[in-house]
Structure 1
Amino acid sequence: MLVTAADLAPEALALLSDYEIVYAGKAPAEQDIVELCRIHNPIAIIVRYSKVGAQAMDAAPSLRVISKHGSGTDTIDKMAAEARNIRVVAAVGANAAAVAEQTFALLLACAKSVVELNARMHAGHWDKATHKSLELNGRTLGLVGLGEIGVRVAEIARAVNMRVIAFDPYARNFPDHVKQVSLEELFHESDVISLHCPLTDENRHLINAETLTRCRRGVIVINTARGGLIDEAALLSAVRSGRVMAAGLDSFSVEPMAAGHDFQGEQNIILSPHVGGVTRAAYVKMGVAAAKNLLAVLENRAQVSRR
């Protein structure tokens, strides 16, 4: 069994005690995964980092299941997996609480100028007479995606008396305090736009120069989903022009972010290194869910083969 990371929670390892575990290391490249598949021919892969594509699958003829240590499966070539009768499963909701909290941490940092004021205070300034932050009470939060994370963010927003609207064509049940709207309505009505959807070919660069012109001037943009949802150059231009008041970003088109990225040093762009789902509790929950998901697939296939 291959884990595309340097470790796995002990609670997850206990569930996998009947299997040999091979770790890919802290930052495996896609080709590293291919080589490990060739050497070890794993029956299952737990994906934390790196991509898993057709080449890796072909290098592991015994592979039966790819289990994501988290909810987003965009780093797994699902079409290639389906063609090879390899199941792809995800730990949906395991990190929902952690990501929702990170979302609101970034939102509050943007609305209340937390980072800027902290730096000013440490430099010896006292800006009470000149600073005005944004009050979220009564403002409209637009959620793109209303899965488990989006629902949790909506609950937090309700606690601070924000109006919550959401666009999600796949959501079955909208909470009573969340108004279902079209994407166009969401762009027009939101004071804050927060992204909580998977990345697909259809929604890549959903936030771009054209869609930003449809938003209210001074909108806040939060992304704790996938970096590819945002055209980064367009967002940077909108922040610099004031069309976007601030952006709080936890994911990026290319990760890890290289030194010299245009976002670095921008006062009104708050950055975190894709750690929204990284808490001790989420680490355990994602590991356990990933282990249980793959075991369910392996055990089911074993039962089928015995019939």
Structure 2
Amino acid sequence: MEGPGQMKILITEPLDFSNENLKLLKEVAEVKIGPFTRMELIKEIEDMEVLILRLNHFIDREVFLKADNLQYILTPTTGLNHIDLEEAAARNIEIISLIGETEFLATIPSTGEHTWALLLSLLRKIPQGFDHVKKGGWERDQFKAHNLCHYTLGLLGFGRVGKQIAEYAKVFKMPFVFYDINPELRDHPNACNSLEELLKKIDILSIHIPLNDQNSQFLNGSNLTHLKRGTYIVNTSRGELIDEDYIAEALKAKELGGYATDVLANEIIREKRKENPLMKIAATVDNLIITPHIAGATYESMWKTEEFVIRKWLKNLDTSNNTWPKMR
């Protein structure tokens, strides 16, 4: 390992990157800061040992072919579908992320907050109401809804975010159930024994499972048919977890009450995003909300998560410097 000041770090998305975190990096390395286009990134990465990125770039074989010196990728995310993991592994590049950092992630509320904002926006028809007003309307009867306590909320996944959403549900006096493969949760009074049982019981489905190689399109036409007609779905996990073609058709047919998502399959690649079935119908249906993967994008959460992965990386360095400032 090279000594302090000799390593080279590339930060792809520096907007609102904290000065404190930048100072930490500059104490051990030479830092180059973007933002970069994809072609600029491919050029700049050639002599870099460390890459720090959020979610604006897809790091694939084309990038790796130019990254002969790359040793680490730091990404303050709980998903890694913006990185070609097979290519990274073949090149012995260590990826430092937030995966598995349960205790730390419990202190980060931003994704849970945005999930609840999407849920409220979808059920109370807030975007449609604002569009109506912008056009000069003021007809409240067009936007009647139900109190949340009349809905049963279903949580797919009862980890960090799922538990946060359950707490919000309690505040709104909303009954909730969940399905999770963790055997330690089977005796929980709100646990369902199967996905089918969950889907049959609920009026709203909120998705909180991580994407992995085994669960692409975990929710699809064969199991989503168990939902009641008019069910609402909220997704702040990953777009690849659900069959978006099925969702698009169900929205057009009004079989679903609505779908609110912060994520899309292949969202980073602009050409694929444009061809996404949900993007294609977004302007023609009134029961769809899409936000551009902003659930984790609060200043405080981004500063804390970036600091966490930086410090996690620093522990890997061959240095005797044990005087790093404490985390805020």
Shorter-chain TM-score bucket reads 0.7 to 0.9
Give CA-to-partner distance per residue, 1:106-156, whole Å, 9 cap, x none.
Answer: 111111111112222333433344543032214222222223222211211
Alignment match, 1:72: 79
The 5 Å alignment of 1:4-43 reads: 4-7=12-15, 8-18=17-27, 19-25=29-35, 28-29=37-38, 32-38=40-46, 40-42=47-49
1:174, CA displacement in angstroms? 7.7
The answer for the alignment partner of 1:203 in structure 2 is: 215
Q: Which residue of 1 aligns with 2:133?
A: 121
SS of aligned partner of 2:30: coil
Aligned counterpart, 1:305? none
Provide the TM-score with structure 2 as the length reference: 0.80
Task: Name 1:258's counterpart in structure 2.
Answer: 274
- Report the counterpart of residue 176 of structure 2 in structure 1: 164
Q: 1:115 to 1:164 in 2, by over 3 A?
A: same
* 1:112 counterpart = 2:117: no
Identity over aligned residues, as a percent?
27
Name the structure 1 match of 2:315: 296
* Aligned counterparts, 1:232-243, within 5 A: 232-243=244-255
How far 1:16 moved relative to its partner?
A: 0.9
Partners in 2 of 1:55 and 1:78 — Cα distance? 13
- Assess if the C-alpha contact under 8 Å between 2:106 and 2:160 holds in 1: no
| Post-superposition CA distance 1:151-179 (Å, at most 9, x none) | 21121112112222222324755895742
For the residue of structure 2 that corresponds to 1:298, the secondary structure is: coil
Count of residues in correspondence between the two structures: 299
The match for 1:217 among 221, 229, 251 is 229
| Equivalent runs, 1:39-188 vs 2, <5 Å | 40-42=47-49, 44-49=50-55, 50-54=57-61, 56-57=63-64, 59-91=66-98, 92=101, 93=105, 96-129=108-141, 131-170=143-182, 172=184, 178-188=190-200
> Contact 2:74–2:310 (CA<8 Å) still a contact in 1?
yes
Q: Secondary structure at the match of 1:289?
A: helix
2:173 aligned counterpart, secondary structure: coil
Hey, what's the Cα distance between the residues in 2 that align with 1:241 and 1:265?
A: 12
For 1:39-83, what per-residue CA distance to the aligned partner results, in whole angstroms no more than 9, with x for missing partners? x232x2222131224554454344332221222122223344334
The structure with higher relative contact order (CA 8 Å, sep 6+) is: 1
Take 1:192 and 1:81, find their aligned partners in 2: how far apart are those partners? 38
Aligned to 1:275: 294
Ranges in structure 1 where 5+ consecutive residues have no aligned partner = 303-307
**Equivalent residues of 2:186, 2:193 under 8 A apart:** no
Letter in 1 for 2:18: A
| Residues 170 and 87 of structure 1, relative CA distance in 2, 3 Å threshold | farther
TM-score, L = length of structure 1: 0.85
> Which ranges of structure 2 fall in alignment gaps of 5 or more residues?
1-8, 322-328
Verify the 8 A CA contact 1:66 1:294 in the aligned structure 2.
Answer: no
The DSSP-based 3-state class of the residue aligned with 1:66 is strand
> Which amino acid letter does the alignment assign opposite residue 238 of structure 1?
A
